[in-house]
Amino acid sequence: MDRVTKSTRSKIMAAVHTRDTGAEKNVRSIVHRLGYRYSLNRSGLRGRPDLVFVARNKVIFVHGCFWHGHSCRYGRLPKSRLDYWQPKIVANKARDRRHARRLKRAGWSVMVVWQCQLKRKDVVKTRLGSFLDA
Ligand SMILES: [Zn+2]
């Protein structure tokens, strides 16, 4: 069993609402080192993507695994207060899908980087490079 511990869980939850999380900063610095220019949180766009590449028509979301319901161990719902968390996370996932769909319909390419994926920065870097080059 690899359930996250209670203290890990509370750290995850504490980080949930903070903008400019470590994950976002990591992605920004990778993108910056790759040499791409981006703008941040352009308010006119659906779902407020974390990085926006206007000239390339591309956006990147950096998603926290818990809040956005990733299928990894950090995205698991706590057993306590499941009736509280489950509808919230389900609604967030639906909202994320809706935003991505609308952005794509409007001609944007959408990439999601999950918080847990940043444990392998080399892999994320490769993915970011090929997404932004394509
Ligand atoms: Zn994850």
pLDDT (tens digit, 9 = 90+) per residue, 43-95?
Answer: 678 888 999 999 999 999 999 999 999 999 999 998 888 899 999 999 999 99
The alpha-helical segments, DSSP class H, found in the chain are 6-16, 22-34, 82-105, 121-133
User: What distance in Å separates the CA atoms of residue 95 and residue 29, rounded to the nearest whole number?
Assistant: 27
For residue 8, the CA-to-ligand 1 centroid distance in Å is 14
Q: Which CATH superfamily is domain 6-133 in?
A: VSR Endonuclease (3.40.960.10)
In this predicted model, what pLDDT tens digit does every residue of 87-114 receive, in sequence order? 999 999 999 999 999 999 999 999 999 9
Contact 117, 64 (CB under 8 A): no
For residue 48, the CA-to-ligand 1 centroid distance in Å is 20
Token pair recorded at residue 5 = 């511990």
Residues with CB under 5 A from ligand 1 (ion): 65, 70, 72, 74, 114, 116
Contact 75, 69 (CB under 8 A): yes
Q: Does pTM surpass 0.85? A: no
